[in-house]
Structure 1
Amino acid sequence: MIDEALKDINQFLTFTLGKEIFALDIGTVREVLELTSITKIPRTPKFMRGVINLRGHAVPVVDMRLKLGMSQGEDTVDTCIIIVEIEFEGEFTIMGALVDSVREVFEMTPDTIEPAPKMGAAINAEYIKGMGRQNDQFIIIIDINKIFSAEELAMAKELAGLGGGAEQAPAEEAHAAESAAAPA
């Protein structure tokens, strides 16, 4: 009975954009990085901040405030880049999501998550999985696999190609890292 209850618990990484709290399914998160130097790429959409060098690979970074239609914020000591793995049509793309701050990993059971509210045509709620609650605050749970269009993901793959293939599968990357660490 306990095992049955545990499999219905979902873990989410919570982060902030402005005063709002958002969450991503922990299964899509590879790592969290401190803000590092981002190289701007000309002729990309405003929400595309550029690319970072992640262990020799170019990883595109998206400003989540701009992508979600919020105003651009100032980078602070709390600004982080969440490295996420996005699945689209059976392929995975590695991207960085620039957020104001990362809070914690938070567990929510499915019965505590409400469906996304209907807000009319002005707001695209397609990418919102639901609304959770922590104490008296709402948490907007984002479906990272639905935030980007096919064209945006294609552009991200192209940008990643600048550094030699950041879209490498996690198992391949781990094997490559182990091989590099092995003594010659």
Structure 2
Amino acid sequence: MVADMKVGSEAGSTEVAQSVSGQYLSFTLGGEHYGVDILRVQEIKGWEEVRALPDTPEYVKGVLDLRGAIVPIIDLRARFKLEKIEYTPTTVIIVLSIEQGEGSNIVGVVVDGVSDVLDISDSLTRSAPDLGAHINTRFITGMVSEGERMVVLLDVDKLFSPDDLGVLGASG
């Protein structure tokens, strides 16, 4: 079981939209590596059962009471349409701050495991490939090679549409 750990701040990024330099928390899903801006990470929690909500998309696991705040929990495997697996002791919830419109929301995402914190510079980052109209890459800010692995950098603000967050209810 992973111990609960604080790793970021609630401050949003002030970088230019094209810049992806900074520190990223890397995590795994289905053997692939992904990264999110560390400044958006509020907490990492070991997996615990959540309260299911009726009539929500399949990727919405439910909600969790996090020190008095009701936080929607999203299974990124289901969101990315990956094979469903049983959760293991390395499965964690990454609690993220999502900026949409004039407000922010707190959302927890279930991932297979966290890897490490990466220092990313713009010079090492490649643009997301154009995969055509049938593959949605709007939430990919770039890709970076880190040793033997390729890490896909995600824009957490674009990962969920305003409609998704409306279904989940504002929690910020």
Sort the TM-score into its range (normalised by shorter chain). Answer: 0.7 to 0.9
Q: Give the letter aligned to residue 108 of structure 1.
A: I
1:98 matched to 2:91? The reply is no
Aligned residues: 154
1:69 matched to 2:81? The reply is yes
Contact 1:93-1:156 at 8 Å conserved across structures? no
- Change over 3 Å in CA distance of 1:9–1:145 after alignment to 2: closer
Q: Report deviation, 1:65.
A: 0.9
Show CA shifts across 1:92-148 (max 9, x none): 000000000011111111110100011112210010000011102100000010011
> Within 1, Cα distance between the matches of 2:142 and 2:81?
18
Match of 2:32 in 1: 20
> Within 1, Cα distance between the matches of 2:87 and 2:126?
32
Show CA shifts across 1:64-112 (max 9, x none): 0111121222100000000000000121000000000011111111110
Q: 3-state DSSP class of the match of 1:31? A: strand
Q: Give the letter aligned to residue 70 of structure 1.
A: L
Contact 1:130-1:140 at 8 Å conserved across structures? yes
1:35 matched to 2:47? The reply is yes
> Within 2, Cα distance between the matches of 1:20 and 1:61?
21
Match of 1:115 in 2: 127
Q: Report deviation, 1:9.
A: 4.5
Contact 1:114-1:132 at 8 Å conserved across structures? yes
Query: Kindly, what percent of the aligned residue pairs are identical?
Result: 33
Q: Give the letter aligned to residue 103 of structure 2.
A: E
Structure 1 residue aligned with 2:160, among 128, 132, 148? 148
Q: Give the letter aligned to residue 31 of structure 1.
A: E
Show CA shifts across 1:12-42 (max 9, x none): 0000001100000111111100111211111
Contact 1:112-1:133 at 8 Å conserved across structures? yes
Residue segments in structure 2 that go unaligned for 5+ positions in a row: 1-19
TM-score by length of 1: 0.80
RMSD, aligned α-carbons: 1.5
Q: Max radius of gyration: which structure?
A: 1
Match of 1:173 in 2: none
Q: Report deviation, 1:56.
A: 1.9
Q: Report deviation, 1:154.
A: 1.4
